[in-house]
């Protein structure tokens, strides 16, 4: 994983997401998912662009199905945006990078 992107797990979800002081973007993905591999470079680039303003993490739904189930993840990639420990936005599928940036900007205000 890129230096600016955290690995989110069942074990660190509470600390890294629910109790985060900044907004959090989580990329729900799996190794076998082609569209997940398409969006990964965008997520990593945005992690660098918004470093210090937003925390970015990836959660492998195959390794942590309990978290995926808690958020009713039915399709991947799904990007979840959290603010104050609560889900505030959800993006399902591959979207253009500028659209993802706009959604992040809304959470930062």
Convert the pLDDT of each residue in 53-92 to its tens digit.
999 999 999 999 999 999 999 999 999 999 999 999 999 9
User: Is 109's pLDDT higher than 90?
Assistant: no
The β-bridge partners of 81 are 25, 89
Structure confidence at residue 23 (pLDDT): 96
Q: Give pLDDT, residue 24.
A: 96
Catalytic residue among 17, 24, 28, 33: 33
CATH number of the domain bearing residue 61:
3.40.30.10
**Which range of residues forms the domain containing residue 14?**
5-108
Count: domains in the chain: 1
Do 87 and 71 meet the contact criterion of CB atoms below 8 Å apart?
yes
Claim: this prediction has a pTM higher than 0.85 = yes
Angle at the Cα of 74 from the Cα atoms of 78 and 57, rounded to 5 degrees: 30
% the chain with pLDDT above 70 = 97
Q: Is position 58 annotated as part of the catalytic site?
A: no
Question: What single DSSP character describes residue 8?
Answer: P
Q: Which of 6, 17, 25, 36 is catalytic?
A: 36
36 is catalytic: yes
Residues in a beta bridge with 91: 79
């Amino acid at each position: 994983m890129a230096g600016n992107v955290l690995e989110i797990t069942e074990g660190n979800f509470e600390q890294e997401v629910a109790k985060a002081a900044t907004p959090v973007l989580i990329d729900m993905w799996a190794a076998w998912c082609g569209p997940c591999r398409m969006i990964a470079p965008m997520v990593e680039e945005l992690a660098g662009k918004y470093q210090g303003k937003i925390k970015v993490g990836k959660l492998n739904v195959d390794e942590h199905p309990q978290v995926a189930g808690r958020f009713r993840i039915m399709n991947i990639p799904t990007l979840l945006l959290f603010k104050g420990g609560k889900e505030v936005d959800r993006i399902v599928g591959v979207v253009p990078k500028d659209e993802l940036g706009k959604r992040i900007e809304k959470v930062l205000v």
